Amino acid sequence: MLKHISAIAVVLILILGFASPVQAATPRSTWVENEIYQYNHPFASQLPQELETKIQKMKASPFAFYRGTAHIFYRDMQTLPSSEFVNSSTSAIWLEGDMHLQNLGGMRDSNDNNVFDTTDFDEGYLGPYVWDLRRMAVSILLAAKENGISSSDAQDIVRNFLDAYLNKMSDFKGTNDELSYRLESSNTNGVVKDLIEKVSDKSRLKFLNKYTQLNNSNNRVFQTTLELKSVSSSTYSDIAEAMSSYVTSIPSSKRYKNSYYTLKDIRLKLGSGTGGLGKYRYYLLIEGPSSATDDDRILEMKQEGNSAVAIAVPGLLPSSVYGNQEGARVTIAMKAMLSNTDPLVGYTTFSSIPFMLHEKSPYQVDFDYTLLTTKSKFMDAMGYAGKVVAKNHAISDKDYDAAIIPVSVEKEVTDIVSGNKAVFKDEIVNFAVDYATQVEYDYTSFVNAYNQKVTL
C-alpha cells in the first residue's frame, strides 16, 4: 500500500516534524481470504455450525465484518506506520483490544451501580494506547455510514470521541479521580442515559426464566433450545471437575462459601457474539447464595485463545503475568479496566483448553448503535465512549499493578498530546478514514469469496 500525504499534512510536517501515519486503502482479496481462513480454520472441527453463523453475521455489513476480524486489524497494525504520539511509556499499556461500539453497554457493577462501560475483554493485552482509539474511530465511521450519516459528520463524531478521551485523561492527571469515576444516569443523557436506565428494569428472576425452568422436583435446570444444547456426560463431568480450579482462581477475599458454586446444570451456548463464534461457550447454572431457586447464578464459560493484539506485538505482555493461561489473561484485563469487577470472574482449563468464567449478568443491556440516527445523538453517545476508554486506560496503569504498567498513563498521554491536540485528532481521523475504506474493500472481497464458494 502506498503512503499518501495531504497538502495540509505536508505543512504540519514542516512546522511540527510530525508525519501522518496514513496509507491508501487497496483491494487485497487473496490476502483477506487467507487471513480469515487461517484464523478460523482451527475451530472448524469443533463447532462448524458456529463458524457458519459467524460467516453469516459478518456478511451483514462492513461494520459486522469489522467486528469479526480483529485479527486482520492487528495484522495491519504490525505493518502500518505507528503514531507520532506514542513514546516508550505509552506503547505498552492495557488495551481492551477490540474497541468498537458493541463492546460497550449498560451494566450493574458489584456495588450495585448502574453504569455505562466496556463489556468484553477477550482481546485484552498490552499495546500502544492509540490502537484502542483507532479501532473505535474506525467503528464509528462504519456504523455512522450504515446509519446514513455523512462522512464529514462522522469525522466530527470521531473528533468528539477523541476530545472526550483527551479531556478526561487531562482531568485524571494528578488526581486519583479515575478510581471512582463512573458514568451513570445522573451524569449522562440521550441514548446512553436511556441505556443505563434500562438496567434498572431488569430482574434476576426474569433472566433466570428466560434460560431455565423448574423441573418436576422443583429444581431449576436449563431449558434445551436451539441456542442451549445439552452436553455429553463426559463433557459435563470434565467441566464439573474443572470447577475447583475456577474457584481457586478467585482471590480468597472475593470467594464465597463452597456451596455457592455448586453446579446444577450445563448447556453449550450457541450463536453469541461475532468474533468469538467457533469457540466453545457454555452456560453453567450454579446454586448462588442460598438453596432458593430464585437466586441461582448463570456463569458464562468462554474458550479463550491468544489475544488478537498479540499478532502485532507478540510477547509484549509477558506470559508470566498470566501464567500462560489465556483465560487468566482475560480475567486480569477485566479487573484492570473495570471498577467494582464481577466477583465471579475467574478461569480454568479442561481438555487442555483455557476458559474464562464470569457471571452472565441479568442486568446487562447491549448498546444499540442503530439508535444513533442523527449527528447529535451520535456525537453525544461517542463523547461518553471517549470517557469510558479514558477511564479504562487510566485505572489500568500503576494504579492497578505497577509491575505491569509502571507509569501514570493519564499523565503520559496528556503530556505527549499537550499543545498538539488538533494534529493528534487529524492523525487518528485520517487513519480511520483510510482504514474504514480498507475495511469496505476487505468486506467486498469476503462477500465475493463467499458467493464464489471459496472456503473461508
Cα dist. 253→180, 244, 329, 356, 399 in Å? Answer: 20, 16, 20, 19, 19
Chosen domain end from 334, 359, 384: 359
pLDDT of residue 421: 98
- Total domains in the chain come to 2
pLDDT, averaged per 10 consecutive residues of the chain (456 residues), comes to: 32 32 82 96 90 95 97 97 97 98 97 97 98 98 98 98 98 97 98 97 96 96 96 98 98 97 98 93 98 97 98 97 98 97 97 97 97 98 98 98 98 97 98 98 97 90
The reply to whether 209 and 340 lie within a common domain is yes
Among residues 196, 101, 105, 96, the alpha carbon closest in space to that of 147 is found at: 101
CA distances for 406 relative to 89, 93, 402, 403, 412, angstroms:
9, 9, 4, 6, 11
Task: With respect to residue 456, please indicate whether it lies within any of the assigned structural domains.
Answer: no
What pLDDT does residue 12 have?
A: 29
pLDDT at position 45, please? Answer: 87
pLDDT of amino acid 284: 98
Q: Do residues 79 and 167 both lie within one domain?
A: yes
So what's the pLDDT on residue 456?
A: 85
Answer whether residue 367 is part of any domain: no
* Shared domain check, 204 and 183: no
User: Is residue 46 situated within a structural domain?
Assistant: yes
Q: Is residue 366 part of a domain?
A: no
- Amino acid 9: pLDDT: 34
* Chain centroid, CA 44 distance in Å: 23
* Residue 206 shares a structural domain with residue 83: no
Rg of the chain, C-alpha, whole Å: 22
Give me the residues paired with residue 357 across strands: 301, 346
Where are the alpha helices (H) located in 287-354, listed in sequence order? 309-312, 326-337
Looking at the fold, whether 340 and 394 belong to one and the same domain comes out as no
Query: Contact at 8 Å (CB) between 311 and 75?
Result: yes
Domain membership flag for residue 2 = no
Task: Residue 123: give the domain boundaries.
Answer: 7-190+373-451
User: What is the tally of helices (H) and strands (E) in the chain?
Assistant: 16, 13
Q: Please indicate, yes or no, whether residues 290 and 244 belong to a single structural domain of this protein.
A: yes
Q: What is the pLDDT of residue 18?
A: 35
